[in-house]
Structure 1
Amino acid sequence: MEIKTLIANMLIKNYQIEPRLIEQRPSGWSGLAFLVEDIREKYFLKVYDKKSRQLLLGLMQLAF
């Protein structure tokens, strides 16, 4: 399933936000960034990869 579809389903189900636009934006190394618009508001959404987070936590444990 495409990430935009997953985001739309999550926003509708959990936050009652019905996105009319989900547009990927430039992001940093730690996740993906999206502009989300519904009929009332604009939102900036960051999506992080759990695997990357687990790797980062593992590296931090090794460093200390």
Structure 2
Amino acid sequence: MATKSRNKSGIVWSLFAIALAFCTLIYCASFAIDLFINGLDRISLATDYFVRIIKGGNA
């Protein structure tokens, strides 16, 4: 029983697509982390603001 030969260009394009996806994830991860950190800062500012309002302090 003979085995079918694999298409070498298909393997190359698959590896290229995987590498491109990995690079895209690394590039976008920095933006996602910054967005998460900024979100935490905004949540803490909003929480402090509402605590001051509830306590009756100046907003």
User: TM-score normalized by structure 2?
Assistant: 0.30
User: Which structure features the higher share of strand residues?
Assistant: 1
TM-score (norm 1): 0.28
Q: Please identify which structure carries the higher helix content.
A: 2
Identify the structure with bigger relative contact order (alpha carbons < 8 Å, sequence gap 6+): 1
